[in-house]
Structure 1
């Protein structure tokens, strides 16, 4: 059932560009702000889904608390179309370069055939474009709530986009 609903959702995204456009950087910045505060304070990922209800209104699932480096949620039964997934990356930690989506993040969105949105400890927001197999920076540092302990010098600079291979390379860098 989940695979069927996700396949339908993937078709709905291309058929409903207005819904996808409503997930603008400004909308996402405001949406992520309270979730980021909690995610950073608890050093836990939070995740969920965006979708459309029967009236065509954009809705989001309640953020589900995950672990320090993973999170799993399900779309809401109220969603007739799943538009995208979302998740946070918790707080800044010197042992984890979490300022980009990971290769696992992009692979999961590609597997589900839906776009994904990721908020980082530095306050960046990314879009995982499942169809293109690319992570795209929607808005840079401090676009949404960021960790006050974030150290911009701890890891290499962030590019504006990454292919899946580019994320593999970043995941496997020695710092």
Structure 2
């Protein structure tokens, strides 16, 4: 009985559950294709994913950004579903293992969701309908920066609301 209760609670509270598994797998593959370069160059990479004219999932151009920012180019040929970006290489002085307030606000402003890969190898989903970020897979599920130190940012939750992100960043300042 306890197992059934836990399962039903998890299913009803997961903002990721409604997300299409095909889209998630595609986003992970796109981010995996730039993760090593992002870590090696200590630069964010970003772009958009969506559906092409034939309805197939596709990614717009991959843009090389700066160490802590990236501005993707909107692909007119796609019906954009989400943004994606990496969080560059590991930096002991930066909070890079969780999407930022800026990440969620930028996606909300564009009316889309997002995906974020971290130097610790986490993959996050940014849900701008519910204003929640959720881990799709935990530390080391994607390529990891060899300099990454697990636990250096404290405990990382599996999800954060927008208000929790605001509080987390305020505490870090």
TM-score of the alignment, normalized to the shorter chain, above 0.5: yes
Query: Is the 2:46–2:62 contact (alpha carbons within 8 Å) kept by the matching residues of 1?
Result: yes
Using the size of structure 2 for normalisation, the TM-score is 0.84
The one of the two structures with greater contact order (alpha-carbon pairs below 8 A, sep at least 6) is 1
Aligned to 2:113: 115
Aligned to 1:22: 22
Q: CA RMSD in A?
A: 1.7
Query: Is the 1:30–1:144 contact (alpha carbons within 8 Å) kept by the matching residues of 2?
Result: no
Deviations, residues 74-102 of structure 1 (Å, cap 9, x unaligned): 221211x1110000000010110100000
Deviations, residues 44-99 of structure 1 (Å, cap 9, x unaligned): 100000011111111101210011111101221211x1110000000010110100
Deviation at 1:172, TM superposition (A): 2.3
Classify the secondary structure of the residue corresponding to 2:50: strand
Aligned to 1:167: 165
Deviation at 1:153, TM superposition (A): 2.4
Task: Give the Cα separation in 2 of the matches to 1:60 and 1:120.
Answer: 19
Aligned to 2:90: 92
Q: Which structure 2 residues correspond to residues 73-152 of structure 1 after superposition, within 5 A? A: 73-79=72-78, 81-152=79-150
5+ long unaligned stretches in structure 2: 1-17
Task: Give the Cα separation in 2 of the matches to 1:174 and 1:134.
Answer: 19
Deviations, residues 109-130 of structure 1 (Å, cap 9, x unaligned): 1111101000000000000001
5+ long unaligned stretches in structure 1: 1-16
Task: Give the Cα separation in 1 of the matches to 2:27 and 2:142.
Answer: 8
Q: Which structure 2 residues correspond to residues 55-66 of structure 1 after superposition, within 5 A? A: 55-66=54-65
Task: Give the Cα separation in 2 of the matches to 1:118 and 1:143.
Answer: 13
Aligned to 2:154: 156
Task: After the TM superposition, list the runs of 4 or more consecutive aligned residues in structure 1 that deviate by more than 6 angstroms.
Answer: none
State the aligned residue count: 156
